[in-house]
Amino acid sequence: MVSRFIRRTVLPLLLVALAPASEARAADWLFTPFIGGTFGGSAKVSALGDNLKTDFNQTLTYGGSLAGLGGGIVGFEVDFGYSPNFFNGDANDSLNLVGDGNVTTLMGNLMIAGPRAAVRPYVVGGVGLIKTRVDSADEFLTNVSNNDFGFDVGGGVIFSFSHDVGIRGDVRYFRGITNNDSEGVDLRLGSFQFWRGTVGVTFRF
């Protein structure tokens, strides 16, 4: 009687309880600090005309990502990036609309990667926070800081040197999808967009 109860009740419960732990041990956890640059950044400044589009210079960016690939190919990634001096204008421009500023991104992404191998391509896409801060280059414009909803899509390749260490190349497109109005410089973040290219060292554990 006791043995039948153990076989029919206790053992199935143990299997269910142990399954997530086994799956977690089989998952790939990938931590990647990275550095790179942004390019193709643009936004409309509605205060100076809806048809006026401001392009931004290439700038340094850095950050890190943590990805968990359950079963090895499909998982979730948290990506953090920071770009100082993102809105720094070109000194040669006849009208420097914006001065120094920065962009911070925090994204939660779905990640799909190839099977575990020396060369491992992947694609990512998700949503999260795009925080912008613009310092005016002209006295008649005020400083603006916004927290907005946005999305990113992209992909890259991880080149593994060993079981635990590799190099990752990554390109992503970011775009704001909401608009927060503010006094002064009114950046319509629905039109705010940029690309980011990075290289990082990936640690697997």
Q: Give the angle 82-176-185 at the CA atoms, nearest 5°.
A: 85
Using CA atoms of 102, 103, 106, 112 in order, give the dihedral in degrees to the nearest 10: -130
- pLDDT tens digits, one per residue of 4-60: 544 554 455 445 444 444 444 467 899 999 999 999 888 765 444 444 456 677 889
Tally of CA atoms within 13 A in the half-sphere of 46 that contains its CB: 13
Q: Could you tell me which residues come within 8 angstroms of residue 163 by beta carbon, excluding any fewer than 6 positions away? A: 204
Residue-level pLDDT, tens digit, the chain, 205 residues: 545 544 554 455 445 444 444 444 467 899 999 999 999 888 765 444 444 456 677 889 999 999 998 767 899 999 999 998 887 655 554 444 455 678 999 999 999 999 888 999 999 999 999 998 876 655 434 556 778 889 999 999 999 999 899 999 999 999 988 655 555 544 454 778 999 999 999 999 8
Domains of the chain: 27-204 (2.40.160.20)
What pTM value is reported for the model? 0.76
